[in-house]
Amino acid sequence: MPVGRRRTSNQHLPRGVYRKHGAYYLVRNEGDRKRWTRLGAEYPEALAQLARIMAGTAAPLSVEALIARYEVDELPRLADRHRRNRQADLRRLAKTFGHMPPAAITPAMVTEYWRRSGESEGTRHRIRSLSALLTFGRQIGAMNGPNPCYGLHLPRAAPRRRYVSDAELEIVRSVAAPMMRGAIDLAVLAGMDGATIRGLERRHLTDRGIEFTRPKLAGRDPTPQLIEWSEQLRACVRDLLALRPQVRQYLVCNRRGRPYTLDGFQAQWQRVMRKAKKAGLAERFRFHDLRAKSASDAASDQDAADRLGHADATLTRRVYRRLPRVAKPLK
């Protein structure tokens, strides 16, 4: 593998890959000379070519090369936020495991990484990303043994417990712009997450209700979900479609009729939170907490699971049902 000084720029690039004159190159030492191999002008194209080159060498495929292949084949299938977080995780994992063949990683190494990294929730997410990467490696033949991330039983962090009260919701709705108010109502009434709301189109509106597939599950479970109409939900959609621009494809969009990017939507939400704080909101909350409110206010665990699209109510009960359980005393 190429070696050299630590990068000061373009630190996202795999080892030995450099950008020059509008293209990406793999630089390798051959005796006293450096060989520059053109990979491509676009980053995905360059990663794919790098993966082909690495797969054709006699040396075992490294984790770094496996990451390059994964970024081309698997990352595009993930939702925006999931893809961004996964890519950030892989870059950090490459610093520790990048030089190793995937088959050389052992459960003890993963456990040691967990401990040395502070046993934080961020480390847990990186280990999940490592597990997904190694599972992909097994699928393409980069390793044949078991996934070393399985069965480690790392201590699980407590789920988030922030519950948004009705009074807090009204404060936030009162200061939100009409488009964001519609997004808030969709999250509460239909239990939708931000990615689903940003992707809703007119074609998802049916006679029975709103029929859609959550972006996070599109690659694993393409089964559509239907949220049936209620008077409140119909009014929410009607108000959204009355907003400008009226000739548009997406229900929630920017001024040009285009769907919000993840960054754009988060910027709008932070603006709402700043206004809400000035209007009397005591504590900020996340947009995703509105999905938890929808589940928490449901009549039962199963009703909440059906609305959120969970196949098993256990996850709904553990993570999204945030109100105290109510029980009657023994007579």
> pLDDT tens, 169-211?
999 999 999 999 999 999 999 999 999 999 999 999 999 999 9
**pLDDT at 269 (0 to 100):** 98
**pLDDT at 219 (0 to 100):** 59
- CA 73 vs. chain centroid, Å, equals 16
Entry pTM: 0.74
Counting other chains too, the contacts that 128-135 makes at CB distance below 8 Å and 24 or more residues apart are 128/89, 129/86, 129/89, 129/90, 129/93, 130/89, 130/93, 130/97, 130/105, 132/74, 132/86, 133/63, 133/66, 133/67, 133/70, 133/90, 133/93, 133/102, 134/102, 134/105
Residues 183 and 305 in one domain: yes
Residues 86 and 172 in one domain: no
Residues 101 and 200 in one domain: no
CATH classification of the domain holding 221: 1.10.443.10
**pLDDT at 214 (0 to 100):** 87
**pLDDT at 1 (0 to 100):** 41
Task: Give the structural domain span for 265.
Answer: 166-320
**pLDDT at 3 (0 to 100):** 45
Would residue 148 count as lying in a domain?
no
**pLDDT at 281 (0 to 100):** 98
**Beta carbons of 39 and 51 less than 8 angstroms apart:** no
Residues 198 and 88 in one domain: no
Mean pLDDT of each 10-residue bin along the chain, 331 residues long? 61 83 83 80 83 64 90 86 92 94 95 93 95 94 92 87 98 98 98 96 97 78 90 98 95 95 95 98 98 97 96 94 93 87
Residues 119 and 252 in one domain: no
Would residue 161 count as lying in a domain?
no
Would residue 54 count as lying in a domain?
yes
Query: Number of structural domains, the chain?
Result: 2
**pLDDT at 58 (0 to 100):** 44
Residues 179 and 298 in one domain: yes
Residues 315 and 190 in one domain: yes
